[in-house]
Structure 1
Amino acid sequence: MGFGVRQFELALMHRMRDLNAERVEAAIEAIGASRAELRAAHTQWTRILHVRKGPAPLRAALGPPSHRGPQPFGSLTCEVLRWALPSWPELAYEVLLGPGGQVWNQWLVRPGGPVTLTFEELTPWRCVVADVQASFPGAAHGEGQAPHHWAVDFTHQDTTYRARFVYGLYQRLDVLRR
Structure 2
Amino acid sequence: MRFRVREFELALMHRMRDLNAGRVEDALAAMGASRAEVRAAHAHWTRLAHAARAPKGAAVFRMALGPPHHAGPRAFGSLTCDVHRWALPSWPGLEFEVLTGPGGEVWSQWFVRPGGGVRLAFADLTPWACVVADVGTSFPGAVPLEGQAPHHWAVGFTHAGTAYRARFVYGLYQRLDRPDG
Which category of TM-score, normalised to the shorter sequence, fits these structures? over 0.9
1:93 to 89, 92, 96: 96
> Which aligned pairs between 1:10-49 and structure 2 lie closer than 5 A?
10-49=10-49
Q: Indicate the residue corresponding to 1:3 in structure 2.
A: 3
In the other structure, the counterpart of 2:72 is 69
Alignment TM-score, normalising by the size of structure 1 = 0.97
Q: CA deviation at 1:112?
A: 2.0
Q: 1:162, 1:175 within 8 Å by CA — same for their partners in 2?
A: yes
* Number of residue pairs the alignment of both structures matches: 178
What is the CA–CA distance in structure 2 between the aligned matches of 1:22 and 1:161, rounded to whole Å?
A: 21
Q: What one-letter code is carried by the residue in structure 1 that aligns with 2:57?
A: G
Gaps of 5+ in 1: none
**What residue ranges of structure 2 are gaps of 5+ in the alignment?**
none
In the alignment, the residues of structure 1 paired with residue 44 and residue 104 of structure 2 have an alpha-carbon distance, to the nearest angstrom, of 23
CA distance in 2, matches of 1:175, 1:111: 29
Aligned-residue CA RMSD in angstroms? Answer: 1.1
The 2-side partners of 1:25 and 1:41 are apart by: 15
Measured in 2, the distance between the counterparts of 1:97 and 1:171 equals 25
Shift of 1:177: 4.9
Is the Cα contact below 8 Å between 1:159 and 1:177 reproduced in 2?
no
Taking structure 2 as the reference length, what is the TM-score of the superposition? Answer: 0.96
Cα-to-partner distance string for 1:72-102 (whole Å, 9 max, x where unaligned): 1011111100011000110010001112211
Give the aligned partner of residue 127 of structure 1: 130
4+ residue stretches of structure 1 with deviation over 2 A? none
Contact 1:69 1:80 in 2 (8 A): yes
Kindly, what percent of the aligned residue pairs are identical? 71
- Matched ranges for 1:110-149 at <5 A: 110-149=113-152
SS class of match (2:118): coil
Note the C-alpha offset of 1:39.
Answer: 0.8
2-structure distance, mates of 1:80, 1:109: 12
